[in-house]
Amino acid sequence: MKLSIISDQVSQDFLEACKTISNLGLNTVEIHNVFNKSIEQCNFNEVKIIKEILKKYNLKVSNIASTVFFMAKLYEDYEISLFNENFHVVNGTIEDHLIALENACKIANELDCKSVRIFPFRFPDNKVNTKFGTDKDLNEIFKHLKKAISIAEKYDICLGLENCPYSHCPKGEMTLKLVQLCNSNYLKCLWDPANSYRAIKSQVPDNYKNITLHQEYKLLKDNISHVHIKNYTFDETKVKPYVHVGILEGDINFAQLLPLLSKEKLHPYLSLEPEVDYDTTIKCIKDAITLSKIL
């Protein structure tokens, strides 16, 4: 497994991010925020600049972290909003998102990358005391994933469906069910164990609350295309009790979990997404490099 990092975790300036990442000894990046937009919104000239920067610092691309389906309404009566204004996204109808996906696939091929992230649809602001990711929801998402897969197949791209705490499928077990429903080599799980950990439990159907992260990994392992790594501590005194910390400092024991991923040799890339300040991000990179050498 090769170690990567989402470039905007280091700097919103793509050139500066690549310079720092390369100097720290990594040779692979994942791309989301770039030029004050999400990667799938980039035009040909912007992609050309990205290629030049990657070449300058001898970096490859592990994953195109598109935001396809994140800010698309699964149902017409949904009201959805962005959780963080610094998280650049594509907006619009589901059809708009499918058009953006096609552009993401073209960009991926241009950057010699075979992986594009998508999401299982943002949960709404206007539905309180509601469970999301029910069988009804999954069947509705499935209909749109089939269209996405048709696009991915056209460009020979593997879509990574991320279990996101702001979506209908915060648990990896839930995205796995969608992947199994679709039954396509062009759709796999983008597994983020920390997202599973911090899922809003009151919104998760009861049948998805019963397994540990280690058990979840064993369920997903043959259907994972990419992995994101971050960590949290839980502080019940805070309004938002899940607090981002360094990857080796939180409630998730990655010193135990990462050897499982390394041993299986099933997943080509693991991307750091620490969501912490600059100095802690740099420490996360160094800690991950040290741990990867031990593994």
Arithmetic mean of pLDDT, 143-162: 99
Q: What is the total count of domains within the chain?
A: 1
Task: Return d(Cα 243, Cα 228) in angstroms, integer.
Answer: 17
126-129: long-range contacts, CB 8 A cutoff, minimum separation 24? 126/77, 126/78, 126/79, 127/78, 129/202
pLDDT in tens, 179-222: 999 999 999 999 999 999 999 999 999 999 999 999 999 999 99
Residue 295's pLDDT is what?
61
Structure tokens at 249: 């400092």
At residue 266 the predicted structure's pLDDT band, cuts being 50, 70 and 90, is low
Nearest to 4 by CA among 257, 227, 269: 269
**What residue type is 78 in one-letter code?**
Y
In sequence order, what are the residues at sequence separation of 6 or more whose Cβ sits closer than 8 angstroms to the Cβ of residue 177?
Answer: 138
How is 46-71 classified by DSSP, letter by letter? HHHHHHHHHHHTT-EEEEEEEEETTT
Q: How far is CA 50 from CA 29, 109, 187, 263, 279, in A?
A: 12, 13, 26, 33, 25
In sequence order, what are the residues at sequence separation of 6 or more whose Cβ sits closer than 8 angstroms to the Cβ of residue 105?
Answer: 116, 151, 152, 154, 155, 157
Handedness of CA 243, 249, 251, 256 (dihedral sign): positive
Residue 229 is part of which domain span?
2-293
Task: Return d(Cα 228, Cα 48) in angstroms, integer.
Answer: 26
CATH of the domain at 99: 3.20.20.150
Confidence check: pLDDT of 123 > 90: yes
Nearest to 107 by CA among 16, 189, 45, 28: 45
Using left for φ > 0, alpha for ψ between -120 and 50, and beta otherwise, residue 265 falls in left
Single pTM value for the model:
0.97
Nearest to 160 by CA among 87, 248, 101, 233: 101
Arithmetic mean of pLDDT, 23-28: 97
Residue 258's pLDDT is what?
85
Confidence check: pLDDT of 82 > 90: yes
